[in-house]
Structure 1
């Protein structure tokens, strides 16, 4: 006989829960109550119809949203992607102020059923994360990501942990993006890597994102820019181990104690602070915490004019270095100073532009370039703006984002050269110079520029990854692998691009098993499948190779081996032939 608990308890089943909600519903209703009501009913009905095709069940239609269940996380995500595309089509030709735009949140796990209805943590988490999705987008948890990342042709941008109301543990969240290529450059969740639990290094530091004390989203760029500049300044000291900016920024939306941050990143020192602006005055509060001794060893308040921000940065850097007791030669300390802009507006435009360029989307890249142009209008010789604009043109060329990108790489090269001439102490310009030279197949010039950049900033993990790729394409894959391993230590939340570069270097060395392991560890394996297909083919696993080749063609229907061979910037023709051979064995043409 069943016990009372077994017979009367709720039923449980695994499933995926989806919540979709309309952005600015109240505002839409206030503008046109009757028209909006009719349009919303039609959209919700359309969502239900699309859901049926993906074996979804509408549990509840709300006034401005819908709650659905799916047996499969893959079905749920595929529905969400089709649903958002359908909503974009429905908005075509409609004035923007009348667009009906949905946010979607997805979580999967155990769902509770009883006579009173449906509930459980899975439902609660899906409902909470929906509100965190940007308008028109899809946010999902790491549980969903793990189930779908190899099964849908999409990219996933790691958003970091988020604390949800009335949920005990923070949820690791991902933003789904249909453009899988640029997501290879965004931070990624790395589970179980020894780097994240490494023994604390004596001369090591992480700069947590400064908090902006003001209206949410109003001038966060000021706090973020200050954080990045202090990180960059400290990274230039050879004796310091400085965690990369991208890894630290994973925690920009979550409160994390300095002690927890120290243990998470394996560093001894943690810097954190706040920024507040009032007119032309700026107030910065900053603390330096020794994690081992669990105490604040230095703290300061700065109340200055905004015009003094470069002096504040320099003072913070000097004090932090002194507090960590690193011996720095006077010549290296002098080299720390980069040339500031002659017009403070230029600095502000660059900081704002970076918030857009870090999104790695076509439209965001264009906005960033406009801001960099505004900076250059204020100060035509500002090296940082020249280098930043060069990057936007590199991205246009790499992802074919412009209507005509044929001259983008040449313009990027010229801008990078101008940046190095304007400020020979700034690593950014030399990094952009190395990238532009590489894809022009000017290998010696590329590596020379990267070496100069790393001399100026020896802790820049992204520079290391880019240089490693240049080394691999120049026939120096062993050196490339060592450099990538170092970059992964500095940037624990390293983007997939590092693994993509690593897999390519292993492939060139005929180390196919290690190449496959690197690609299979990618958060978004879509862009690594070319390497994966070639590896399987070279190992004689032709069924697996053809499976991966089909995935390549699904993501890039126009893929042609001959075109890819021309794009590859390899110095050695034997490396090109080796990769082409693998692709062709896999069935790609």
Structure 2
């Protein structure tokens, strides 16, 4: 009889479940048990209050974990972001090794509720998503994403189907970013685009997968990543090689798959992979080049050298891959393509560390990268790469209004880019940053010229191609812009949303509004495409859709000013700006 009573108290309910726990809690307790316990207790009290403010309730606290239930996915995700903000605020006064950082998972579905709490597979999925989340991030399932994608102005990075512990089927997951601006530049999968196994290019094609760090200290991973990136950069300079972009290659860092499968996904013939072990002033680099068609290793080498020889190793690896892929390049051409090494090896180390931060595209990470690049330049004032990198951080600050004085940031970016190209006229990065600054100073010919110089030096740089295409579209050459963007997407199969935004802009200028809509609906961050979508629907006479999109945009961007936007637009042709303004006004802006 009692068993029947227990069963009758169980009920089913649709809800959004959030699970969060503290990263490295056992270590923190080992360091200082009383301090950690007190700090967590205070944090949990704040979180319970914040949870109630988001119309949720904390169902259980399990040690360092919080289980909360919400009626809507919107409130669950908002609370997840607020949870991290509260934790960071609390951490501000604590030493770095005593800080409490959470990770969180959110899933939505039917759950079982009884007097003891909430249960069922959907609760377990939230807990498992939390386990794979990065510190300071909220990972959500696709069921949550579909509910919030058009409602919340957050960034969403699709992570693909994730195999979670004790969950039978893979769960498609997304990482939520509260700083949406940089999310548009982050490499990402497309949920509606399964790997198409692109056709092989007509020239030798290669992907360099991230090298693994075999040392006991995983903090050395920045060195392995930096070496991988520089080998990609060296190979990218050759016109008769097709080289997969760094962003897409690094997608395979957390994915374990045979090199032949990676080659199929990326659409290349050859795959290079390797490992690095550092010990004091010595370094061991092992690398192999695999022919994906046959599965054979066609070249392999191991280098045991002093760390000072790192640039010589890079050159040897580049030459070996070029030779093994049967690319006919004159020795003089190879020499011209070699990068200028810094006078101080520590300067190079600071640049590599900076690269760890800049590709995360958040305000805090961009500042951290800038600080490291400045330290590199302090060690070697003639280091062109560091000067170009500082220019890039300033351009990002300007692009996303992270700089207090926007005009000053753009002017300073210009001076660093000019200095970079003076120091090393063979480095594409300086010319790329120069192109961006000139475009937004509305110096169109100078911008196009700088981008062309950059691409002549590095024709395989997908981000450069995308930025060049944007400059072309703002200069009235939309057909070439579209062609360049399609090439960028082939070089960088896991391209960021920004490529789609640039492509949509070119189609809009050509009044191909259906193509705009088709392009922008592929964005992982739909709120960032709403403005152009609203204008396109309005131009097609689909006024109900246009007004709905405009209303969603106002909710996500309450401070948007059409007048300010029109002033900032770097269009060479006044009619292009007016054409967009006309569409926005029709939509109700």
Q: Partners of 1:317 and 1:303 in 2: how far apart? A: 17
Q: CA deviation at 1:370?
A: 1.3
Aligned partners of 2:105 and 2:133 also within 8 Å: yes
Change (3 A) 1:121 1:294: farther
**What SS does structure 2 have at the residue aligned with 1:267?**
coil
Q: Is the 8 A contact 1:28 1:98 kept in 2?
A: yes
Query: How big is the alpha-carbon RMSD for the aligned residues of Structure 1 and Structure 2?
Result: 2.9
Distance 1:560 1:157, change over 3 A: same
State the SS of the aligned residue for 1:287. strand
Matching residue of 2:189: 189
Change (3 A) 1:311 1:262: same
Superposed CA offset, 1:236-279 (max 9, x none): 12222211110111121232221221121121211111111001
**1:117–1:402 Cα change, 3 Å:** closer
Deviation, structure 1 residue 293: 0.5
Structure 1, unpaired ranges of 5+: 1-6
Q: Deviation of residue 550 (structure 1)?
A: 2.8
* Range that drifts further, 461-470 or 380-389: 380-389
In the aligned structure 2, how far is the partner of 1:465 from the partner of 1:97? 40
How many Å apart are 1:503 and its aligned residue?
A: 0.8
Residue matched to 2:343: 342
Q: For this pair of structures, how many residues does the alignment match?
A: 581
Structure 1 residue 139 corresponds to structure 2 residue 139 = yes
Is 1:384 matched with 2:389?
A: no
| Mean Cα deviation higher: 368-377 or 38-47 | 38-47
Runs of at least 5 residues in structure 2 that lack an aligned partner in the other structure: 1-6
Structure 1 residues 116, 43: closer, same or farther in 2, change over 3 A?
closer
Alpha carbons of 1:124 and 1:100: their partners in 2 closer, same or farther (altered >3 Å)? Answer: same
Which residue does the alignment assign to 1:407? 408
CA distance in 2, matches of 1:174, 1:489: 23
| 1:190-221 CA-partner distances (Å, limit 9, x unpaired) | 24548742134462111111111124541111
More deviation, 185-194/468-477:
185-194
Structure 1 residues 282, 566: CA separation in 2 closer, same or farther (over 3 Å shift)?
Answer: same
Taking structure 1 as the reference length, what is the TM-score of the superposition? 0.90
1:313, 1:95 → 2: CA distance? 39
Change (3 A) 1:85 1:371: closer
Q: Secondary structure at the match of 1:482?
A: helix
Specify whether residues 29 and 378 from structure 1 end up closer, same or farther in structure 2 by C-alpha distance, changes over 3 A only.
Answer: closer
Compute the displacement of 1:153 (Å): 1.4
Task: Tell me whether 1:548 sits opposite 2:514 in the alignment.
Answer: no
User: Secondary structure at the residue paired with 1:571?
Assistant: coil
SS in 2 for 1:188: coil
Rate the CA distance shift 1:13–1:325 in 2: closer, same or farther, 3 A: farther
Change (3 A) 1:121 1:509: same
Structure 1 distance, partners of 2:205, 2:119, is 46
**Match of residue 174 from structure 2:** 174
Kindly indicate whether the alpha-carbon contact (under 8 Å) linking 1:195 and 1:488 is maintained by their aligned counterparts in 2: no
Q: Residues 287-338 of structure 1, C-alpha deviation per residue, up to 9 Å, x if partnerless?
A: 1111110121111111111111111111111111111112223343222212
Instruction: Give the Cα separation in 1 of the matches to 2:564 and 2:379.
Output: 41
Q: Which moved more, 1:421-430 or 1:495-504?
A: 421-430
Partner Cα distance (1:169, 1:311) in 2? 47
Q: TM-score, normalised by structure 2?
A: 0.90
State the shift of 1:547 in Å. 2.5
In 2: Cα distance, 1:116 partner to 1:299 partner: 59
Query: Secondary structure of 2:405's match?
Result: coil
Counterpart of 1:509 in structure 2 is 510
Distance 1:324 1:176 in 2: 40
Q: What is the distance in 1 between the residues matched to 2:284 and 2:375?
A: 26
The 8 Å contact of residues 196 and 492 in structure 1, kept in 2 or not, is answered as no
After TM superposition, the structure 1 = structure 2 runs for residues 464-503 of structure 1, keeping only pairs within 5 Å, are: 464-503=465-504
Distance 1:170 1:316 in 2: 38
Gap change, CA 1:349 and 1:90, over 3 Å in 2: closer
* Distance in 2 separating the partners of 1:330 and 1:543: 62
Residue equivalent to 1:426: 427
